[in-house]
Structure 1
Amino acid sequence: MALRRKLWVDFWGELSNGQRFYSSKFDLKKLRPMIMKRIENRAKDYPIRDMVPVAREVLKARALLIRGVSTLIKVFPVQACKFCPEVFIGEKGHLIQTCRGFRRRAKNRVHEWISGSLDDILVPVEAFHLRKMFQPVIEHNQRFDFERVPAVVELCWQAGADPTDQDLHLNTRNSDGIVGGVHGVESLSPEDLTVIANGTLKAWETLRSGVQRLTLVYPVKVCEHCSEVHVGPSGHKARLCGVFKYESWRGTHFWKKAGVDDLVPPKIVWHRRPQDPPVLLDEGRGYYGHAPAVVDLCTKAGVVPPTKYFTMIKVLGRSEPVGSEH
């Protein structure tokens, strides 16, 4: 204890009147071995045994979610804007003028719709797959030495789950070849679609709640300026951000603590209610509701959304603008 206090005093300086005085007498290089040893000792506490079942449940829910969504979008078409990330679930896209477009295009334009895919509903988020949780920080020149895997799978792996090769490489881009949804979707009855949608919505809620619990225990970082995610005690140093124009190529990331929305983006879309017109108009944009894309997709199959989404969906809200009243 005496040695520890001496190091503390040499580094921070004595405290006086509630103020902290910094000292330059202590060599930071001598403190580095102590810090690195403490980081290595932290690995002995992981994975936490009680969180292993949660990680396994998250992996299972993720596979069921991808399978369910890939089945439902074969029945309920997805529309994606050609020029911005906007998504709408329905036979035709809406007429709400919220297109952000390309950099040189005018803002607030009507969207130009094309057929969407699974990536538009479940946004893929990938991270570097570490060889061990507490390892040296990945440098920029090492970025190609580490495999990129879904961030949720990487989190579950570090939390003690044992993902198979299918889990490590199962993402929305190759799901058709692995899970592919249910065969013969065209012959399914409305009741069958409702059952699938119920299971899909349950998997969605299980996935998000499980990831939230894991992020409270395991360190996960996200860049403040882009969507890059890193699962581990410290972010990597790969210069991939590109947010600053003065960077000659790409800039380093600015890391902060990540949340469940960073690993499992909800992808909010406009939600058409029974009282809304067949095609959503720009004049009523202040009256229409929103919902996560997965929730909106499941409601199209007859599922009642959880009550926590009622405020967002505006279940009992008006549809027509005030100016349309006579």
Structure 2
Amino acid sequence: MTDAPVSLVTGGSGFLGRHLVAALRRRNHRVRIMDPAAGSLPPAPGVEVRAASILDPAALAAAMEGVGHVWHVAANAGLWAPDPAVFERINVGGTRAVLDAARAAPQVARIVCVSSAVALVGRATPVPIAETTPRPPLEELAGAYARSKARALALAEQAAAEGAPVVTVFPTVPLGAGDDTPTPPTRMLTDFLAGRVPAYLECRMNWVGAPDCAEGIALAGERGRPGEGYILGGENLWFGDFLRLLQEVSGSPMPRRRVPYGVAFAAAAVQEWLADTLTRRPPQAPLAGVRLAGRAQWFDSGKAARDLGWQPRPLREPLAEAVAWLREAGRA
């Protein structure tokens, strides 16, 4: 395996990135992680670490040396940031930089860009959403993060149209163990398990286990067709049904009171104003998250099943893993 091409994973120290690294190592890939936070990772066999940013042109060019597959996971995945320009800088500018560097490296055979299912959700997008569902205009997307992922997606699709070996994947809402960041879904789990949320907003969402999603991303690099995109979603659930499942696997009582959308929107607007002007800390309910909750986020992953042979586990399993990890880590 010493002569095998290297698989470069940008954002490899993040939640989904670490699960992808594990999936690639199970396939005996030699992995190179490029991530500014990667210096804190413990040494692992077959894994090389470059603690550098994809926005550093020299470091990115050096990281492409000897690389056969590029897995672009790096992104700011929050629904709020003290400086909203960070989404454009990292998610759009970072994708452009990775695509340019990969296309300049002649030995790169495949580029897998990890987008997000939220880039496919407009105000009136019909469900279930598939890869062929008409894309909503930018102004209909819910917040700066979703708009940045849509702009990055356009760059990936343009590169594919120009002949680059680009495959795109669209994860829905990943859940599982090991989310040190934490991402918004893990913060939500933590709050519910700690009893800090007395009520909930009913909505339609799709949830997928992070390890299963990582398997789908790995399969996209192996079996995906350049120029194609694949939705990686698990189970479509009303939020109340998700909470009942969470109650079953955790043993913690879940809130029974539902909040009307208008009330949730007003509360989120106040929280975000306070975060923007005073606290500079993430609000418990970002406005973009409430906007997304007001839209049906049910997805069809049939194409990934047919073309990639991808089959995620029932949600109960990764959800139980997430709960166990949060409790063992003393976070819930």
Q: TM-score, normalised by structure 2?
A: 0.20
Q: Name the structure where helix makes up a greater proportion of residues.
A: 2
Q: TM-score, normalised by structure 1?
A: 0.21
